[in-house]
Amino acid sequence: MDELLIVTSTYTIVEVIRPKKRSIPTSRPLTPQQIEKIKGMFRWPFIRTIELDDRTALFASDLAREHGLAAADAVHAASAILWKARVLHAWDRDFSRVSQHIPVEQPQFISTQTTLPGMDRTRISPSPDDLEE
């Protein structure tokens, strides 16, 4: 098995922990315990975060203008491109506009495995049940 490495912008932390939009009737704020579980995911050994530095921010602003990307999406694309990721995986956005810079794919589930070797039986990710109150 190839070694798993997930590279993501530090901006991802803001996106996944921020309060949900109030316009969604079923949204509830995350509890402190849920926030800690999510923060813990960014300390897993196979996740590397990329700092949003000046170089990345300036390139992101270029991508946003040239390709019509939202600011956060431009940060993710710039991070992946500058750090020479093999592919940009995106669940919820169309990043095809930057596909001339980096291959873009929707993530694939390749296994039902819920743990990884060397993770001391820690699950790969929290399940929706973990984030229920």
Residue 85 belongs to a domain with what CATH number?
Answer: 3.40.50
**Residue 1 lies inside a defined structural domain of this protein:** no
DSSP character at residue 119: S
What is the pLDDT at residue 59? Answer: 96
**Residue 18 lies inside a defined structural domain of this protein:** yes
Residue at 109: amino acid letter = F
Give me the domain span that covers residue 27.
6-131
The burial class, CB within 10 Å (0-12 / 13-18 / 19+), for 133 is exposed
Q: What are phi and psi of 24, to 5 degrees?
A: -90, 110
Each residue's pLDDT expressed in tens, for the chain with a length of 133 residues:
457 788 899 999 988 887 666 655 666 778 888 888 888 888 888 889 999 999 999 999 999 999 999 999 999 999 999 999 888 988 767 788 898 899 888 877 655 555 555 555 555 555 545 555 4
**Residue 108 lies inside a defined structural domain of this protein:** yes
Name the pTM for this structure: 0.71
Number of domains in the chain: 1
**Residue 123 lies inside a defined structural domain of this protein:** yes
The DSSP code sequence of 49-114 is EE---HHHHHHHHHHHHHHT--HHHHHHHHHHHHTT-S-EE-SSS--GGGTTTS-EE---------
**Residue 115 lies inside a defined structural domain of this protein:** yes
Rounded Cα distance between 97 and 94, Å, is 7
